[in-house]
Amino acid sequence: MRIEFSGIAKRFGDHQALKETTLALPDVHAMAIIGPSGGGKTTLLRLIAGLEIPDRGELFIDGERLESGQAALLRHRRSIGTVFQSFNLFPHLSALENIVLPLEKVHGYGRPAARDHAMALLERFQLAPHAGKRPAELSGGQQQRVAIVRAIAIRPRFLLLDEPTSALDPEMTAEVLDVIGELRTEGRDLIMVTHHMGFARSVADHCLFVGDGAILEEGPAEEFFAAPRSEQLRSFLAKILKY
């Protein structure tokens, strides 16, 4: 995927979440966004997801300018899969129905086709036995895996993951990271906000370090971790890798 930020900025009330940012990423397939909490990582991701509109500037994805009209945003969101930190499965629907609903209501599948497609994906990720369960009956890891399946079921151009394991216990973190790694192996493009440096290093081909509302450093994953240029990234990595 090709992503280009041209002077985009976003403010929430008094808080400048993202300062004017310009950056062109001509050819990334898996990008990790790291950085301290409240630094603007999630804002950046939500702008790409079309869930926020920038106050200023332009955003180009695969050469297409992201328009801010409702119809354009709707089209944009339909082409992207988003996974949230808090899963956000629909609690009144079963795992299967969570996946079927958007396929049927948004993406024009007939009910049988939507169910077949959803079931096939659940089977692929060893979730078939849980198809009929409500989210409350699933573990955190299972919920997040269902959420990932729901996001890829709509055949998105790429996947956005916002700290997908932050709300999980360590052993569940592993099962979710495994799924993400697997998606990457099969060539799916993704952008992920994460605190797992090891995982970012092994999966991502490009990394952004975001802090204080700005992209402080970016580069290919190998260099980024092996030879950080900025002082901020060095001290951030030192702190994170200390324990």
Examine residue 133 and tell whether it contacts another protein (CB under 8 A): no
What six digits make up the tokens of 212? 């204080």
What would the two tokens of residue 211 be? 């802090």
Q: Is 48 in the site for another protein (CB under 8 A)?
A: no
Structural contact between residues 69 and 50, judged by C-beta atoms closer than 8 angstroms: no
Say how far apart CA 20 and CA 214 lie, in whole Å: 8
Which region, judged by CB under 8 A, interacts with another protein, from 13-21, 60-68, 105-113, 193-201? 105-113
Q: Which is nearer to another protein, 62 or 137 (CB)?
A: 137
Q: Which range binds another protein by CB under 8 A, 5-13, 148-156, 177-185, 188-196?
A: 148-156
Structure tokens at 44: 């950046």
Mark the segment that binds another protein (CB under 8 A) among 13-21, 101-109, 197-205, 227-235: 101-109
Nearest to 138 by CA among 94, 178, 190: 94
What is the CB-side half-sphere exposure of residue 156 using CA atoms within 13 A?
Answer: 26
What is the total residue count of the chain?
243
Q: Please report whether residue 13 would count as binding another protein according to CB under 8 A.
A: no
Q: Would you say 45 or 221 has its CB closer to another protein?
A: 45
69 near another protein, judged by CB under 8 A: no
Beta bridge partners of 206: 31, 220
Print the binding letters for residues 71-100 with another protein: x by CB under 8 A, - otherwise.
---x--xx-xxx-x-x-xxxxx--------
Q: Is 226 in the site for another protein (CB under 8 A)?
A: no
CA distances from 175 to 21, 76, 145, 165, 169 (A): 35, 29, 8, 10, 10
Measured from the CB atom, is 45 or 207 closer to another protein? Answer: 45
Which residues are at the interface with another protein (CB under 8 A)?
49, 51, 74, 77-78, 80-82, 84, 86, 88-92, 101-102, 105-107, 134, 136, 150-151, 154
